[in-house]
Amino acid sequence: MFASLLIAWIPALTLLLAVALQELYIPLEAWSVLRPDLLLIALSYWRLYRPDLCTIPLVFAIGLLVDLLSGSQLGLNAFTKLILLLLIGRFGRRLRALSFLHVLFGILFLSLLDASLQWLIMSLIKGYEANWPMLLGRPVATLLIAPLWASLLIYIHHGWLENV
């Protein structure tokens, strides 16, 4: 009984874990350029393999939490993560058919798109100039950490979610 109630919350808990690790435990000053987007990897995984548990309200709330914790413009991460969620949902069937190496390039593309959208929105609002190391560093760091983080999500998915 309790286990069946917990199943619906496992993706939300892993998204919260990603936010906690990304925003609270990786210091911004030391890792400003090579700071991975763990939330994007977790969001991609759950939207690909359990889209029924990775919904639009959940991702919007998680994006607002990231905005509050990071001190960025309120709604910026929520908006860009929703755009990515819709893209993953649209092309999810094709992405699931690809090998893991191709999915990594998909994550790199999504991370580049996320960084570019955030930069574009902030440049329209506040007039930011392009910080190329920042725009390219986060997608590269996300690509490098993606296999490790995805293997943890696969373990959680198959070990806890599917066996209950």
Domain residue ranges of the chain, discontinuous segments joined by + = 2-161
- Computed over every residue of the chain, the mean pLDDT equals 88
Give mean pLDDT, residues 100-124.
91
Cβ 96 vs Cβ 106: under 8 Å: no
Per-residue model confidence as pLDDT tens digits over 37-95 = 999 999 999 999 899 989 999 999 999 999 999 888 899 999 999 999 999 999 988 88
Q: Which residues lie closer than 8 Å to 142 by C-beta, 6 or more apart?
A: 36, 37, 38, 40, 41, 107, 108, 111
Please state which CATH number belongs to domain 2-161: 1.10.1760
Question: Has residue 28 got a pLDDT over 70?
Answer: no
Question: Has residue 164 got a pLDDT over 60?
Answer: no
- Give the other-Cβ count within 10 Å of 8's Cβ: 12
**Residue 90, SS3 per DSSP:** helix
pTM: 0.90
